[in-house]
Structure 1
Amino acid sequence: MPAWAESGNALYSIEVGAVRLDERVDALRTYLWLKDKGYLVYLHRAFAAGDGRPMLRVAVGAFTRRGAAAEFGRAFGAAEGLPHAVAPAPVEILPGADGREFVVTPSALWVRGVGGPRELHPFTEKPTHWDLHGANRVPNTMAAVSPRGDAVAFADESRLFVATLDGRPAVALTDRGAPGVGPDHTFPWRPRWSPDGQYIAFLEQAIWDSGPDFGPLPVGLWLARADGVGARCLTCDAGVADVVRWFAWHPGGDRLLFVGGSGLVARSVGGGLYGIGTDGTVRTLIAAPDPDAGWRTYEEIAGPLTVADGHLQFRRVRWLDEAFETQSVTGDRLPVDR
């Protein structure tokens, strides 16, 4: 499982510099100097204590224990002569193969382990483009490591990429424009690798049409080869769901299981449960509710979807009042046929 600074499992770095965001040249100079020396270094935003001014900070390393960060800081200070302090790190660490790790920082994706740290992919939104407003710009890349641990899929600037441990340039799986790939804060998700590591399933970014037909545009379930050869929508023409919200691979690797429903039903929190083959063949497991059904009979399937012990686990959502304001949520599961 990934270690993630925002999930309660605090991570640490040493901070070696902080400047006002409108005086970022000095921080960039320090950042590039440390990067050239072979350190895992990144830039991130924070706000100064007291006056709340936006600051650009330079941080080095990523550690799961404060003590390890402090020990590294002492050696770093002796070697480089820079003042430093241990601080919480806005990074994500994902275990890879052969004892190596992928490290997602606000400014780049790194790999570390044998041979030291290497930058795999600088993120498109550069620190020099950050403005003076808003919160710390930590990208939600939705990074997901392959079954063998030798590659990671991640989002950057609405595109899906794959980077490998060998350090080759990241491969883009989607083109600019459509499908847009990005986080959904209401229905969080990550790309999912097929069991054999040959394919990656992902969702379009949830977008709202601000025109006369105001409402959510369709969110399809897409499939791409991990080598970057082609991406296609599995559900766009399936006729069973406008919006896909959760999905998981069948253990056999020949199909995906997903929850989908109508984006035009305001009370909808899920939909029906379906299976779809990599060839586009759809099977309804639990039908979506009738949007005109009364609250006593309206029941939806919701995620997250997980497969464990030969069963697909999901949730059932029922409404307890005619205003559709109070929910009852219960866990359920179905056997997964192999």
Structure 2
Amino acid sequence: MIAIAFIGAMAWLPPTLVGAQGPEIAAADAGPYYTVQILSVPAVRSDRVLRAYDDLKARGHLVYCRHAYVHERAYTRLRAGFFRDRHAAEACAETLRDKEGLHGFVTQADLAVASFGEAFDIVTTPNDLWLLSQGSLRPLYHFDSIEAAATCSTIAIGPDGRTIAFACDNRILRIDLDRDTTTTLAKGQSEDALFRCTLAWSPDGRHIAYLDRVGWELPTRLWIMRSDGDANRCLAGDDTGRTRVKSFRWHPSRLELFYVSGPTHGTVSVGGSLYRVNLQGRRDLLVPACLAERTEVCRQFRIAGDQIHYRIAHFDPDYQEITYTTQTAPLDP
């Protein structure tokens, strides 16, 4: 059966260890991967592709659609399977030809894979999220449109290891992997907002923090809600448009967050000041940006052990060049 060819080739994908932030954020696996293109028709005849997609997916096959332009003509393509080994993809192409009468060829699969160590992998296609666990493959979530798939955020796993959360199509969603249930936790404040936000679970799994905007000159605030979507409220930031929260991380063992907040407008800023805030909204300034000395904390920082590691950006007097110095500070001074 084709399903065996698909799953068998995928089951041995090597796990990738998660990063220093902890197990709640997946590690990206860059590939290369391979797939089998089995149909390519003019977009005006895409119903044929969609029927084949529905049929193969209903029988347990990982399939997805791609749009392409050839000589200024729009095409819809159907691809099947997901493999790390090209030879396995070629074997799948033969099986598709012999068992299904579908004549295809092997090509690279430009799909995102989120690896949660030994637990499972999640594959994002333009149509669906797929769960790969212990050789078993099943669809988790179907995107309503190609545009919705493009807004899918990084997948975050809860401390229980059986619940994930992600942002998609101006919503934050939670999926219980054991019950196979999907819950909408929050919706964006504008239909125009892509809402491809950063989100992360608290260490105890009872809260989810997230940023409500991602954009070059958009005000962005840090929000907190319970893991069931209740008590959704702003924890840091303002709606004046003067500042934006640019990044955040949870304290590894306490209900506190660290975040970088700085100017919204302008093409020079690379970060801002580093803060700590608890769930009651009490905020402490840890490392300030200094206008007189032309320094900022860079938006990317990490937590390892009992230390927080960050970089200071130093601008020259004309704001044409930047030099960086690396700093560390204790998490609990």
TM-score, length basis structure 1: 0.80
| One-letter identity of the residue aligned with 1:315 | R
| One-letter identity of the residue aligned with 1:335 | P
Q: In the alignment, is the contact (CA less than 8 A) between 2:219 and 2:239 conserved in 1?
A: no
Q: What is the distance in 1 between the residues matched to 2:194 and 2:251?
A: 22
Is 1:182 matched with 2:164?
no
Is 1:143 matched with 2:144?
no
| One-letter identity of the residue aligned with 1:142 | S
> How big is each residue's C-alpha offset from its partner over 1:214-233, in whole Å with a ceiling of 9 and x where there is no partner?
xx342001122222333221
Match runs of 1:56-135 below 5 Å: 56-96=76-116, 99-113=119-133, 116-125=136-145
Q: What is the distance in 2 between the residues matched to 1:174 and 1:248?
A: 20
> How big is each residue's C-alpha offset from its partner over 1:7-49, in whole Å with a ceiling of 9 and x where there is no partner?
5x3222222111222321111111111112121211122333x
Match runs of 1:162-173 below 5 Å: 162-166=174-178, 168-173=180-185
Q: In the alignment, is the contact (CA less than 8 A) between 1:317 and 1:327 conserved in 2?
A: yes
Give the match's secondary structure for 1:26: helix
1:90 and 1:231, CA in 2 relative to 1: closer, same or farther beyond 3 A? Answer: farther
| One-letter identity of the residue aligned with 2:65 | L
Q: What is the distance in 1 between the residues matched to 2:90 and 2:327?
A: 46
Q: In the alignment, is the contact (CA less than 8 A) between 2:243 and 2:263 conserved in 1?
A: yes
Q: CA deviation at 1:165?
A: 1.6
| One-letter identity of the residue aligned with 2:103 | P
| One-letter identity of the residue aligned with 1:166 | D
Q: In the alignment, is the contact (CA less than 8 A) between 1:16 and 1:85 conserved in 2?
A: yes
Give the match's secondary structure for 1:70: helix
Give the match's secondary structure for 2:98: helix
Give the match's secondary structure for 1:29: helix
Q: 5+ unaligned residues in a row in structure 1: which ranges?
A: 131-136, 184-188, 209-215
| One-letter identity of the residue aligned with 2:226 | R
Shifted more, 97-106 versus 192-201: the winner is 97-106
> How big is each residue's C-alpha offset from its partner over 1:244-276, in whole Å with a ceiling of 9 and x where there is no partner?
111111112311101101213542221000001
Q: In the alignment, is the contact (CA less than 8 A) between 1:13 and 1:61 conserved in 2?
A: yes
Q: What is the distance in 1 between the residues matched to 2:320 and 2:74?
A: 40
| One-letter identity of the residue aligned with 1:42 | Y
Is 1:315 matched with 2:311?
yes
Give the match's secondary structure for 2:186: coil
Q: In the alignment, is the contact (CA less than 8 A) between 1:249 and 1:257 conserved in 2?
A: yes
| One-letter identity of the residue aligned with 2:54 | L
Residue 285 (structure 1) aligns with: 286
Q: CA deviation at 1:116?
A: 4.1
- Total equivalences in the alignment: 306
Give the match's secondary structure for 2:164: strand
Q: In the alignment, is the contact (CA less than 8 A) between 2:128 and 2:139 conserved in 1?
A: yes
> How big is each residue's C-alpha offset from its partner over 1:89-127, in whole Å with a ceiling of 9 and x where there is no partner?
2322223587533221111112233684322221132x5
Residue 334 (structure 1) aligns with: 329
For CA contacts below 8 A with separation 6 or more, give which structure has more relative contact order. Answer: 2
